[in-house]
Structure 1
Amino acid sequence: MKVEIWSDFACPFCYIGKHHFEIGLEQFEHKEKVEVVYRSFQLDPYAKKNTGMDIHQVLSAKHGIPYEKAKEMNNQLKQYAKKAGLDYQLDTMIPTNSYDALRLSYYAKENGKIKEYMDRIMKAHFTDSLDIGDPATLAQLASELGLNANETLDVLASDKYSENLAADKAEGTDMGIQGVPFFVVDNKYTMSGAQSPQVFSETLQQIWKEDYVNDNAKEQLEPSLDHYCSDGTCKF
């Protein structure tokens, strides 16, 4: 069974969704048969680096809402993350463009460190208040995972993996993805949003039962699980 997870480091629901999925996967009795593939879907290619703004200001400007309203919304998000077991430090988080961090994920994948990379970059962004748009910071984080810091800087100084990022975005768009996180199982079943661990576990079990155990029931299962969808997505 293959599960593809489409996400963007700039999306706070992607970290929560990934965390929930991993908990649900641990509860799935056939977890050793599941291949997890990380795919990139950058939501805002025009996001700026070095804005000098906090995330509340960015949200306020983007949606035309008062600063205090934006801060209230982010505080609600922080509590949502806390319930998931994640520590979001949104007051000190550094808003930036996720392009380089996403490009570097393909380098991490080539070197067998993609899961560790996804974990570290998300934690760096939402918990550690590090600038994941800064090449030196990304090189340091990569080196923590055993990746070569100089090679990392060479990748970031070039346009390497930009085609991979564009291809993932194009494929996701063709599939109709408008928000992340977005989960695709075996190229036909889909889930969107930061679902609960139980939903992920039960969904994997349902697909396993229908496609891997009961062959006669394959045609009875609709190639979509959108009834599980919620608002826990970052929109395109």
Structure 2
Amino acid sequence: MQVEVWSDVGCPWCYLGKRRLDKAIGRFEHDGDVEVVWRSFQLAPHYPRGAARPLYEALIEQTGGTLAEVRSMVGRVTEPAAAEGLTYDFDSAYMCNTFDAHRVAQFAGRHGLGARAHERLMRALLVDGEILDDTETLVRLAVEIGLDAEETRQVLAGDDYADAVREDAREARRLGARGAPFFVFDRTLGISGAESVDVFLSVLREAHARSA
């Protein structure tokens, strides 16, 4: 069974959804039959590259809200994330364009490291306060998950995997996605959003039954 996941590495709900899917697969009776494929989906593709700003500052400008209002807005994900073992640090987080981070994730996926890449990149931005449109930061994170530093630097210096990132986004829209996270099971069942572990487990079982 193939599970495709469209997510943005800067999306707190995507990281929560990943954690819940991982737990559901761990409880699934046929977990060894599940292949998870990570797809790219930028929630803010038009955010300027190289213009990282503290998250709250950027959200205040985008929404016109107060600091208290944007804290409340992003805080809605903090409690459910903590219940899954994720400690977000929005005070240290930056909003940035994630296109290059997705290119690194695509590069990692070609080496069988897609899941590790998404995990590390999401933790870097949402927990560690890393800026993910910085080349040297991305190279360092790539090395941490097992990629070669010089090869990663060459990827980032050119346009490698740019078409793959864009095609993933187009494919998500063709499948009906209007945001992320978006999960597709064997191209027959889909889930939008970070549903509960029980919901993911139920869909895994239904998709497996359909393929039997």
TM-score, normalised via structure 2 length:
0.95
User: SS state of the match for residue 101, structure 1?
Assistant: helix
Contact 1:57 1:70 in 2 (8 A): no
Specify the structure having the higher radius of gyration (Cα).
1
Quote the offset at 1:54 in angstroms: 2.0
1:84 aligns with 2:84: yes
Q: Structure 1 counterpart of 2:195, which letter?
A: Q
Q: Match for residue 58 of structure 2?
A: 58
Q: How many residues align?
A: 212
Q: Helix, strand or coil: the match of 1:180?
A: coil
Question: Given that residues 56 and 74 in structure 1 are in contact (C-alpha distance below 8 angstroms), is that contact kept between their aligned partners in structure 2?
Answer: no
Partner residue of 1:41? 41
Contact kept, 8 Å, 2:105 with 2:117, in 1: the verdict is yes
* SS of equivalent residue, structure 2 residue 191: strand
**Separation (CA, whole Å) in 2 of partners of 1:150 and 1:199:** 42
Q: Give the equivalent residue in structure 1 for 2:116.
A: 116
Aligned to 2:21: 21
Counterpart of 1:98 in structure 2 is 98
Distance 1:66 1:187, change over 3 A: same
Query: Using the alignment, how far apart are the partners of 1:90 and 1:12 within structure 2?
Result: 10
Q: Structure 1: which 5+ residue stretches go unaligned?
A: 213-236
Aligned identity (percent) is 35
How far residue 57 of structure 1 moved from its aligned partner, in angstroms, is 2.0
Question: What secondary structure does 1:179 align onto?
Answer: coil
Q: Distance in 2 between matches of 1:52 and 1:177?
A: 26
**Matched letter for residue 21 of structure 1:** L
CA distance in 1, matches of 2:109, 2:61: 35
Q: 1:58, CA displacement in angstroms?
A: 1.8
Which range is displaced more, 39-48 or 90-99? 39-48
Give the distance between the partners of 1:64 and 1:32, measured in 2 at CA.
48
Q: CA deviation at 1:49?
A: 4.5
Stretches of 4+ aligned residues off by more than 6 angstroms: none
Alignment of 1:1-236 (within 5 A): 1-49=1-49, 51=51, 53-212=53-212
TM score, norm. by length of structure 1: 0.85
Offset at residue 132 of structure 1 (A): 1.2
CA distance in 1 between counterparts of 2:77 and 2:42 reads 20
